[in-house]
Structures are given as C-alpha cells and as structure tokens.
Amino acid sequence: MLALRGIEKSYPLAGGTLPVLKGIDLNIDQGEMVAIMGSSGSGKSTLLNVLGLLDGFDEGSYTLGDVDMSGLSEKQGARYRSRFLGFVFQSFNLIAFKTALENVALPLFYQKVARRERQKRALEMLGKMGMEDRADHLPSELSGGQKQRVAIARALITSPRVILADEPTGALDSTTSQEVMQVLREVNASGITVIIVTHEADIAAQCDRTIRLHDGVIIEDGRSGEVVEPTARGANTPD
C-alpha cells in the first residue's frame, strides 16, 4: 500500500545541512494502524509530512498504492493528497471562521463536488462522529474533543485510503484522548490505514504496530507491545 525506500531528507542550515531522515525503508499495508514514536527531533513529524506529501525528500522512492510519488509537482501533490490522504492534527487546524459543517465539507469543495452533495455528505460524516447537532457551530464554540471529531470527520469526508494523524490526542485530556482513539480505531476497522505520530506510549499501545525513530533512523518496528528488531520487517538498521 505504502512503501518508502531509502528516503533521505535534510534541511539546509547556514554552513551546511541538517539530516533529518536517513535512509528510511518502510512498508505499511492497507488497513494497518501504525504508531510512529520517537523523541523530539527524531524525525517522526518529518516522516509524516513526507508520507502526507506535504514535504518532499532528497533521495529514495515513495510509492502510494501503485503510484510513484517521487518528483511530483505541487499540483499533482495536491491532487494525490485530496484523493488518498486525510490529515488529523494535534491543534485540530480547523478554519476559525467556518462552521463545523463548512470545515468538514471543505475538502469536497476542492474536489469540485456540488454544494448540495457536499453538505449532505458532510452532515452524514458529522453524524457518524456524533456531531450533527454541532454542525452550525464555529470551532471556537466547540470543546477540544469535539474539534478533533470535526477534524477527523473532515479527514474522512473524501474517503481516503490513509489517515495521517500528528499527535491527535496531544491537546486533549485522557478521557477525551481515549474517545478520539476509539474513533480512530473504528475508522481503521473500516479498512482505512491509520498512521499516528505520538509520543504517548498508551496511545501507541492501541495501534497494531509501532515504529520508533531515533535521530532520523528506524530503531524499532513491531507489533505494539512486542517490538521486534527493524530488520525482521525489512526496515533499515540504525547507524
């Protein structure tokens, strides 16, 4: 479903470059629920951005479905993001002046779906998240958990094959975190691949698989709770 081969990524610095991802090899199958863990600066968010086509890479190859994602133009990147991927962010990233319904419908607007159809589907999706009675509320009128539910509804509205979640529970209390994780597990149960970047072990423990990054290298990759050496799953060996 999703394959990275020898991905290298570095950021330019004054007087040199800062390597962030160092030869990442990774396969994720359709329907997996994967946690990416690592300390701050380990490269986990950069990896998620590369997977989400929000950022490019310097070396290696990335295949999503059967399509090679190397060297995409901005326009192509936007189209593939719209077709294959949904995003959930720690800070929700809802547009403040749009209602919950409008936020959820926005990806469909960029897919040129007709207004009535868009609103119908957005309302249905909010219903699935138990948020239909908040459809006309602005983000500022919602709690953290409600915002994240709206964000998940927005991520799911285009029927993506992969949900990429960057610290989705990072801004929530533990009860709400569990509610959000329950929603993500239900999403995964419907066959959608879910990739979660987190630094919380209890969140990672609720995923099928955990990948641990350190200094831009995968150092652990295995079923959550029984992490195995990365070589056993074809991942790279740390330097």
Partner 1 sequence: MMGLDRDRLAELVQVVVRNPLRAFLSALGVGWGLFMIIITVGAARGLENGVKADMGSDVSNSMFAWTMSTSLPYKGYQRGRYVEMDIDDVNWLQANTQHLDLVCPEVQLGGYRGTNNVVRGKQSGAFDVHGAIAEYPQVKPMNITEGRFLNEGDLAGERKVCVIGSRVKDILFEMGEEPLGETIQIQGVIFRVVGVYTPKGNDEDAQNEAESIYIPFSTFGKAFNTRGRVGWLSMLIKDGVDAEEAEEATKQLIKARLSIHPDDPRAIGAWSMAEEFQKAELLFSGMRLISLLFGSLALLAGVIGITNIMLISIKERTKELGIRRSLGATPLRILQQIIGETLFLTLLAGLCGLVLGVGLLEAVDGYLEGGGDAGVFRHPEIDFGTVLTVLCILLGMAIFAGVLPAMRALAIRPVEALRSEG
CA distance 26 to 28: 7
Helix/strand/coil for 78? helix
Among 30, 68, 110, 231, binds partner 1 (CB under 8 A): 110
In the shown chain, the binding pattern of residues 60 to 99 toward partner 1, with x for contact by CB under 8 A and - for none, equals --------------xx--xx-xxx---x-x---xxxxxx-
Helix (H) or strand (E) holding 117: helix 115-128
Q: What is the CA radius of gyration of the chain?
A: 18
Judged by beta carbon, residue 149 or residue 209, the one nearer partner 1 is: 149
Report d(CA 228, CA 239) in Å as an integer: 17
The one segment of 18-26, 105-113, 140-148, 174-182 that binds partner 1 by CB under 8 A: 105-113
Instruction: Report if residue 161 touches partner 1, rule: CB under 8 A.
Output: no
Span near partner 1 by CB under 8 A; candidates 30-38, 101-109, 122-130, 205-213:
101-109
Q: Are strands 209-214 and 33-38 parallel, antiparallel or unpaired?
A: parallel
Q: CA–CA separation, 156 vs 50, rounded Å?
A: 20
Q: Which of 158, 176, 206, 236 binds partner 1 (CB under 8 A)?
A: 158
Smallest gap, in angstroms, from Cβ of residue 171 to partner 1? 14
Q: How far is the CB of 208 from partner 1 (least distance, A)?
A: 25
d(CA 120, CA 116): 6
- Scan residues 40-59 and list those touching partner 1 (CB under 8 A): 49, 52, 54-55
Report the C-alpha gap between 89 and 93 in whole angstroms. 6
Beta bridge pairs of residue 183: none
With binding defined as CB under 8 A, does residue 148 bind partner 1?
Answer: no
Taking the C-alpha atoms of residue 106 and residue 8, their distance in angstroms, rounded to an integer, is 33
User: Which secondary-structure segment (H or E) carries 103?
Assistant: helix 100-110
139 binds partner 1 (CB under 8 A): no
Does residue 147 belong to the site contacting partner 1 (CB under 8 A)? no
Position 106 contacts partner 1 (CB under 8 A): yes
Nearer to partner 1, 14 or 96 (CB): 96
In sequence order, which residues have a C-beta less than 8 Å from that of residue 114 and are 6 or more positions away?
none
98 vs 185, which CB is nearer to partner 1?
98
Q: Which residues bind partner 1 (CB under 8 A)?
A: 49, 52, 54-55, 74-75, 78-79, 81-83, 87, 89, 93-98, 106-107, 109-111, 115, 154, 158
